[in-house]
């Protein structure tokens, strides 16, 4: 796991033992996930409450590890730190040897910082929100039906209280039609 830092020319810098990368045991081109993994392992090892080392040594080492992690996990701070130690990502990046060969093994999602949303179960909070949303939908639907039934019954009762036969309906329509025609002719 311990690797030495290398600059863009392939040389080991003078202060190799004091870089944040060497403190975490990583190469400067390592990913953020590997930095996080190394930090977790070392923080468990050197935490003053969980180690058997003397408290002053453990505290000093733990503070160094925290400082290294804080710098390397922030993209802006990491870029300025890389420039400070003389490391350039652009001179080191090379095409992988198996670039033209298809990947033979599937991608391991457990090592990815971005999980596919369909791979994880819903949390209890998400289930609760969906339940409340469903209850709200059903409640609104029942309320709309109740209002429609109540207003529909009142309208139905007014029409039923004045039953008209077909002849009376035709007479009313004819009277409305003649009134409309007379208004149009007067204008």
- All structural domains of the chain, each given as residue ranges with its CATH number in brackets, are 20-85 (1.10.287.110)
Per-residue pLDDT, 3: 43
Task: Give the tokens for residue 142.
Answer: 């029942």
Q: How many residues are listed for the chain in this entry? A: 187
- How far apart are alpha carbons 100 and 3 in whole angstroms? 28
* Helices (H), ranges, the chain: 20-24, 32-46, 55-72, 75-85, 89-92, 124-161, 166-186
Per-residue pLDDT, 94: 58
pLDDT one digit per residue (tens) for the chain, 187 residues:
344 444 444 444 444 457 888 888 888 888 889 999 999 998 888 888 888 888 888 889 989 999 999 998 888 888 888 888 877 666 555 556 666 666 666 656 566 555 555 556 778 999 999 999 999 999 999 999 988 888 876 555 555 555 557 777 778 788 888 888 887 887 6
- How far apart are alpha carbons 169 and 179 in whole angstroms? 16
H or E element at residue 93: none
Report pTM. 0.41
Per-residue pLDDT, 111: 61
């Amino acid at each position: 796991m311990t690797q030495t830092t290398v600059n863009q020319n392939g040389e080991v810098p003078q202060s190799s033992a004091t870089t944040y990368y060497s403190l975490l045991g990583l190469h400067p081109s390592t990913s953020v996930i590997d930095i996080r993994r190394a930090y977790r392992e070392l923080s468990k090892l050197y935490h003053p409450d969980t180690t058997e080392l003397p408290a002053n040594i453990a505290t000093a080492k733990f503070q160094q590890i925290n400082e290294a992690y804080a710098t390397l996990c922030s993209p802006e701070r990491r870029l300025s730190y890389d420039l400070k130690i003389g490391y350039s990502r652009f001179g080191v990046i090379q095409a992988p040897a198996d670039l033209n060969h298809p990947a033979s093994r599937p991608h391991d999602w457990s090592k990815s910082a971005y999980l596919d949303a369909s791979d994880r179960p819903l949390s209890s909070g998400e289930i609760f929100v969906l339940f409340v949303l469903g209850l709200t939908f059903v409640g609104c639907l029942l309320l709309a039906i109740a209002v429609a039934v109540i207003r529909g019954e009142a309208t139905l009762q007014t029409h039923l209280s004045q039953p008209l036969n077909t002849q009376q309906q035709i007479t009313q329509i004819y009277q409305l039609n003649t009134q409309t025609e007379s208004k149009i002719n007067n204008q």
